[in-house]
Amino acid sequence: MTLQTEILVIGSGAAGLSLALTIADRFQVKIISKENAAAGSTAMAQGGIAAALRAGDSVESHIQDTLEAGAGLCNPKTVSRVIEKGPAAIDFLIAQGVKFTGGSEPEEGSGFHLTREGGHSRRRVLHVDDATGRAVHQALLHNAHKHPNIVMTENALAVDLITNRQSVSNGKGKDQCEGAYVMEIESGKIDAMTAKATVLATGGASKVYLYTSNPDGSTGDGIAMAWRAGCRVANMEFNQFHPTCLYHPEAKSFLLSEALRGEGAHLTLPNGERFMHKFDERAELAPRDVVARAIDHEMKRLGLDNVYLDISHRDPDFIIGHFPNIYRRCKEFGFDLTTGPIPVVPAAHYTCGGVVTDLTGKTDIDRLYAIGEVACTGLHGANRMASNSLLECLVFGMAAGEDILARGNELPLPGSAAPWDESRVTDSDEEIVVSHNWHELRRFMWNYVGIVRTNKRLERAKRRTDMLLGEIQEFYGNFRVTPDLLELRNLATVGDLIVRSALERRESRGLHYTTDYPGQEANPTDTILTP
């Protein structure tokens, strides 16, 4: 069966919602979310959104900080475009009903309380207490649900993109996206859904690692689908590990925000000794790649399971007032931010690479856009600076929306697509194979393609991804697909892209550190893979 909509948005986070709200007065928009629409990485973002609003700050300073954090691989044009749009993105959120935490310091001159995070030379991070992502997501979702032209479908998983391989009339011979095959998770039914334009807003791929701060849905679906459809991907070797995830067997995916270090929290060894000053003059406020590697180094050097984050030297009322949600969650696990150090470890957090796009989110395939963490826009380079990611979601969500609006009648609705064919497959009686491969992939990616890499580890990982991809493809071809199999297929594809990209980069830069090539090349370039 073929379903139709004017604009299909795959993903219900900040990027997809901001695009939908930008175009909904003119187009019918269908948003599909493979979980509850309120789930996902946006809602988990604690820190905030970076924008140059304060007296004494400037767009130029924010640009320079971003370029430095990106370790020589940012696209200056992208950086300038996104940072310059920062104030407009904040105005958009305020218009959507987001109530940022107010400021009390008269010298700030912005009306907001601005905090500082790693890599930033100024206080410029707007926040809603310590749950900014949740506040942003709730406001955008509320307005999307109210809009008569936006339809939200939950528990629906995109399987693959539908493309027309024939040359199109623009004369460039580009492939054309006509929609996607979508599974209703509860029933397992798969329908073709065609659209004038399709938008990938599926987030990142950090679930490919054993330890991650991301929700379970971060399985690289959009990156894998775009790759299979013929899109280039770039810089997949740059996986950001958040330095401070709570170390507790039951504290799944819980971060201790970088804003804690922005407000004076120290990283310490078990004996209370600070160590970050040995690695970088900025100490705890160094970029995340530096902090994560320093923690990894100390844990391996001393045989530690974790290090500690300590803000207990600050006034208890200040801590509870600025970090109420983190304070409450830590208490649930038996830790008190106001009285002592909290155990932390690094965890896979953000995918800096992704589907190659231009400044409007367009991909290599006509009528296919990629926005948010799924995309590689050139903003982050070799290392994402804290609180630039929500900003990127908003700026590119609106930019892609404006491009769709400008194209208007250039986007005719496709006809019906070939139905999903299950005539030659059977139900699997070996789901244990999927479960086993899922765990094997995430474990060897953590062990061999983690914070510190070597050629030998990467080559071992490549042999294993090759083997897994063969097994998964055989399973996929013979058995009726399930959500677990589809996510495993996507994770294995993304894992392979990460390993291949890491093997191609023969230097250490930003988030990619290898002991075989500890130096840096004089003229670095992006790692671009072509299907």
Q: What is the DSSP string of 337-365?
A: TTTS-EEEEEEEEEE--EEE--TT-B-SS
Residue with tokens 């006809």: 415
Identify whether the C-beta of residue 62 lies closer than 8 Å to the C-beta of residue 121.
Answer: no
pLDDT at 170 over 50: no
Share of the chain above pLDDT 90, in %: 74
pLDDT at 424 over 90: no
pLDDT at 253 over 80: no
Q: Is residue 464 flagged as an active site residue?
A: no
Which domains can be identified in the chain, with CATH numbers? 244-347 (3.90.700.10), 431-516 (1.20.58.100)
Choose the weakest-confidence range: 17-21, 142-146, 293-297: 293-297
pLDDT at 24 over 90: yes
Q: What is the C-alpha separation between 281 and 258, in angstroms, rounded? A: 17
DSSP state of 509: B
Structure confidence at residue 96 (pLDDT): 96
Q: What is the C-alpha separation between 73 and 67, in angstroms, rounded? A: 8
Structure confidence at residue 110 (pLDDT): 64
Query: Tell me: the pLDDT tens digits for 278-337?
Result: 999 999 988 888 899 999 999 989 999 899 999 999 999 999 999 998 999 999 999 999
Structure confidence at residue 171 (pLDDT): 44
Closest CA to 223 of 388, 79, 372: 372
Predicted TM-score (pTM) of the model is: 0.90
Tokens of 246: 């709570």
Catalytic residue of the set 134, 288, 329, 384: 288
Query: Tell me: the pLDDT tens digits for 183-197?
Result: 999 999 999 999 999
> Stretch 259-285: mean pLDDT, rounded?
95
Sign for the pseudo-dihedral over CA of 321, 322, 324, 326: negative
Tell me how crowded residue 102 is: count the other CB atoms within 10 A of its CB: 9
Q: What is the C-alpha separation between 510 and 152, in angstroms, rounded? A: 38
pLDDT-derived band of residue 174, with 50, 70 and 90 as boundaries?
low
Q: What is the largest CA-CA distance in the chain?
A: 70
Query: Tell me: the pLDDT tens digits for 188-247?
Result: 999 999 999 999 999 999 999 988 989 889 999 999 999 999 999 999 999 999 899 999
> Stretch 469-497: mean pLDDT, rounded?
92
Identify whether the C-beta of residue 499 lies closer than 8 Å to the C-beta of residue 457.
Answer: no
pLDDT at 432 over 80: no
Structure confidence at residue 166 (pLDDT): 39
Structure confidence at residue 289 (pLDDT): 82
Query: Tell me: the pLDDT tens digits for 115-140?
Result: 888 789 989 999 998 889 999 999 99
Closest CA to 201 of 387, 8, 26: 8
In whole numbers, what is the pLDDT of the chain averaged over residues? 92
Q: What is the C-alpha separation between 259 and 241, in angstroms, rounded? A: 16
Query: Tell me: the pLDDT tens digits for 394-417?
Result: 999 999 999 999 998 788 888 888
pLDDT-derived band of residue 108, with 50, 70 and 90 as boundaries?
low
pLDDT at 165 over 70: no
Q: What is the C-alpha separation between 317 and 108, in angstroms, rounded? A: 22
Share of the chain above pLDDT 70, in %: 96
> Stretch 333-357: mean pLDDT, rounded?
96
pLDDT-derived band of residue 168, with 50, 70 and 90 as boundaries?
very low
pLDDT-derived band of residue 21, with 50, 70 and 90 as boundaries?
very high
Comparing 88 with 288, the larger pLDDT belongs to: 88
